[in-house]
Amino acid sequence: MKMKLSVKIAICAMLSACATIAFIIESLFPPIFLPGARMGISNFFILLCLIVLGAKYSFAVLIVKVLLGSLFSGNVSSLMYSLPAGLISLSAQTLLLYLTKNVSLVAVSVFGATANITIQNITFCIITKTTEYLSFLPYLSLVGAISGLIIGYATFLVAKKIPARTE
């Protein structure tokens, strides 16, 4: 049975709220030995939205998360590098999921998380005109890959449990 538009919007709003809250909570914790290193739990809700509702709604969740999360956490300047990185990595994940048949969700999440954190760091260095932070790039990419693995597997487990009637 096709999902009603009102139900889709409600689910999208709920996932946006969860992603925003996760983003704000993560920003309260100190970085893990590296500037900007976070677990990326908010990406779990974006990936889940991509699977359940599709690309259009997942981009909406991403934009809401970055906009509101930056505002409420008091770090508005992070908009400049979080948003482009998020959009590019989500686009890559969407294309990988839709166009490939034999690539798992976990691998897509790993690639997306690595791309996200790499592009964020590079954009930050370009905007602030500092090249010193580029030396953190390999470590951040590794942290991104590991968090992508965990988040991807968690999303996979949750997607397995989603009842068939939501399709």
Partner 1 sequence: MGDFGKKQLLVKVKNSKPFFICDLLVYTITAIIIAVLLVFFVFIPQKIKNLGFYVAINGDTVVKYFSSSNLIEIDDDYIAFVEVVEDGDKIRIKINQIQTDGYNIVEIDTVNKTAKITDSNCPNKDCTSINFIKNSGAIPCPPHKLKVAPIGEGQFNPPISG
Q: Which residue has the tokens 């691998």?
A: 107
Burial 46-85 (b: 16+ CB within 10 A, else e): bbbbbebbebebbbbbbebbbbbbbeebeeeebebbbbeb
In the complex with partner 1, which residue's Cβ is closer, 6 or 33? 33
> How far, in Å, are 2, 47, 133 from residue 62 at the CA level?
24, 10, 25
Whole-number minimum distance, CB 66 to partner 1, in Å?
18
114 near partner 1, judged by CB under 8 A: yes
Tell me the closest approach of the beta carbon of residue 96 to partner 1, in angstroms: 8
Nearest in space to 154 (alpha carbons), one of 23, 36, 55, 51: 51
Out of 60, 66, 105, 119, point to the residue binding partner 1 (CB under 8 A): 105
- Among residues 7, 32, 71, 127, the one that binds partner 1 under rule CB under 8 A: 32
Binding track over 40-79 against partner 1, x by CB under 8 A = ----------xxxxx-------------------------
Which residue of 46, 110, 119, 151 would you call a contact of partner 1, by CB under 8 A? 110
